[in-house]
Amino acid sequence: MMGVSVGKAVEGRKGEHAVRIGELSRRTGVSVPTIKFYVREGLLPAGELTSPNQASYGETHVQRLRLIRALLDVGGMSVAAIRDVIVAVEDPERSMHKVLGVTANRLVPRYEREPDTVIEEARKSVAELVAARGWHAYPENPAGEALAAALAALDDVGHGGFVEILDAYADAAEKVARADMDYVAHHVAREALVESAVVGTVLGDAIFAALRRLAHVDASNRVFGGPADRE
């Protein structure tokens, strides 16, 4: 028998299923070496050592691994970006908008482009849009820069006229943002707020993109009359 192991004691507290790394791997579908890799990279806290070569992992590890995989696979974030965001989320000094600032900074790809008239025009469009909407946001924040870069890229490719429908996009974005706030207000506990914001920001992009594709298929069918595409 050998009596109750130290691991058991750990398992006891607050109903956590404390397990060893192999079981953690089985539960999450993440390989053992990969889990160790995440620990090394600072994405996942180390297991609680119960002896020099045994550690036990709890429910928080399972959740964290799911979070990591969601941000990696669905959100398309890099390991480095996820680390930065997680560090920010865990910072006790975290304020909502500080963490979201980090998230935005790490989520938005940084495009470098030597300043030219195209990007200047795009920035102006963004500033005008933000002003017209009365958005309390500085247009020169990373999202605004990303928007300007995307508009500039569209212009480069010969679709400068796109700005004309930007308002429709902004309407939709406002609507979604309101729904997001609504969801957060009703479903999210204060402590989980920041993490939810991160998850929602990242996965929300993926969800909207997918919905937009579905709506395109429908709209395209209506306009062009072809059968929906099965592949």
Question: Is residue 80 involved in binding its own copies (CB under 8 A)?
Answer: no
Which partner, DNA, its own copies, none, binds residue 60 by CB below 5 to 8 Å per kind?
Answer: none
Kindly tell me the sign of the dihedral angle through the C-alpha atoms of 179, 185, 188, 191.
positive
What is the amino acid identity at position 82? I
Question: Is residue 147 involved in binding DNA (CB under 7 A)?
Answer: no
Question: Is residue 34 involved in binding DNA (CB under 7 A)?
Answer: yes
Judged by CB under 7 A, the chain residues 66 through 95 that form the site for DNA are 72, 78-80
Question: Could you tell me the two tokens for 222?
Answer: 């209506």
Q: Crossing angle, helix 32-41 and helix 79-90, to 10 degrees?
A: 60
Q: What is the largest CA-CA distance in the chain?
A: 77
CB 99 within 8 A of CB 198: yes
Q: Which of 26, 65, 20, 60 is nearest to 43 (CA)?
A: 65
3-state secondary structure (DSSP) of residue 226:
coil
From residue 224, how far is each of 115, 159, 214, 220 by CA, in Å? 40, 21, 15, 6
Judged by CB under 8 A, the chain residues 188 through 227 that form the site for its own copies are 192, 196, 199-201, 203-224, 226-227
| Cα dihedral value 31, 35, 37, 42, nearest 10 | 160
Judged by CB under 8 A, the chain residues 4 through 23 that form the site for its own copies are none
Question: Is residue 173 involved in binding DNA (CB under 7 A)?
Answer: no
Judged by CB under 8 A, the chain residues 118 through 177 that form the site for its own copies are 130, 133, 135-139, 141-144, 146-147, 149-151, 153-154, 156-159, 161-162, 164-166, 168-177
Q: Minimal distance in Å, beta carbon 68 to its own copies?
A: 10
Among the residue ranges 25-33, 90-98, 108-116, 173-181, the one whose residues contact DNA (CB under 7 A): 25-33
Identified binder of its own copies from the candidate list 13, 14, 187, 190, rule CB under 8 A: 187
Point out which residues bind DNA (CB under 7 A).
2, 5-7, 20-23, 31-34, 36-37, 40, 46-47, 49-55, 72, 78-80
